[in-house]
Chain A
């Protein structure tokens, strides 16, 4: 069984410090990758990562401190959308700096951690057998195609031009 369920901890000042340091490390690596892959200026993309890190920090902090059972993903999404909302005073600054961070640069770094992290499940994975692998692959494909085909039909039916 995967170790999904652990005891929960309270967030201390020390914990927030850990979050900030981790986000800084993540930002530095992303900015370097972003520079090598897409030649974005280091300073602008670092400020962009700083903005994204602050949004993340606010989201994960609020998830733990506010007495609602709401995921940090929702907080982070709402902050991001509101800060970039056309007409918001923050919108042009946020868009300028964040646009210097390519999504794919973030993804590339993120997936390096995913790759190392998933190694932990390797032994359990090997024990599961080919039948379960076949079902998993089909389930992922079905989810993807199900959504793609429904979206396509609705887009065509509502007359959205295929740009």
Chain B
């Protein structure tokens, strides 16, 4: 779904979302798998009935656990739990395909909030655009990846947050079987499994401990992944009651920028910068490679 510059010789990677969606949704009859949808309904009902829980840590710091965390964790548990035989790999594939369509609804809601607050978006234009450059901070993780024993994989791992558009860019540049692509695939898979839950807790903690501007939290939640964006907005909305439409507007717009501007920052700034850092740091702090030999 990202816009990635087309290369004539390689027309395969630029629509990874779309192809996935198309295959699962358009060819099969995903709605017929009613048990999947009934299960989701049950998860949602359970989650909404439990509601938002606050767990106090110290006097004025509390961790907020929202229904969205229950549904994502329960969804994973339902897939993994052996007694639940009706949620298997097939249902997971349908859920994944359906999710690509449902991202649209989420984006539409955020877009309506953005439209409503369009004047605010123009007023905050500089902050919205410059914070996209803040995503370059991932490159700071490169030395740690090198110290942990990664080699060229580290370039793929730390140039960006490693979501679908970033995977496509790295695969396009280095080739499917390159160490760089292995690195970005690793980040992609781990981010898929723990990213959403992790960012929700990260944001909850940050809201308690970091005295940043509410709009800064809102803008930062647009990390370029719809599910992480969604998980990051939840606690932010809960922390600043009364600012819902502004927070939704900034979060949605910033995620949109991450998709359309962010990808060019990755291509033209982040990847060259990561490579430079790698060439400079690797001889100094690189460890023996932990990757299996033989595929270079």
Contact = CB atoms under 8 A, between A and B. Distances in A.
Interface of A: 1-2, 4-9, 11-12, 14-15, 18-19, 21-23, 25-26, 28-30, 32-33, 36-37, 49, 51-53, 55-57, 59-60, 63-64, 69-74, 76-86, 91, 94-95, 98, 101, 103-104, 106-122, 124-125, 128, 131-152, 154-156, 158, 160, 162-163
A132 B186 contact: yes
Nearest to A134: B148
Contacts of A110: 99, 102-103, 105-106, 226-227, 230
B104 A72 contact: yes
Interface residues of B, number: 153
A113 B24 CA distance: 14
B124 interface: yes
B198 A116 contact: no
A26 B80 CA distance: 23
A149 to B, nearest CB: 6
A105 to B, nearest CB: 8
Contact of A33 (B48, B72, B80, B167): B48
Given A104-B67, A138-B141, A71 B2 contact: yes
Given A33-B44, A69-B3, A140-B195, A151 B213 contact: yes
A107 B66 CA distance: 11
A79 B15 CA distance: 21
B109 interface: yes
A103 B109 contact: yes
Given A22-B25, A37-B67, A136 B107 contact: no
Contacts of B141: 135, 138-139, 142
B167 A4 contact: yes
Contacts of A134: 144, 148
Contacts of B232: 144
24 contacts: A5-B16, A9-B27, A33-B48, A74-B3, A77-B107, A103-B244, A103-B248, A104-B233, A111-B75, A111-B231, A112-B43, A113-B99, A116-B78, A118-B75, A122-B79, A124-B189, A136-B162, A139-B187, A141-B202, A143-B134, A145-B220, A146-B138, A152-B216, A158-B127
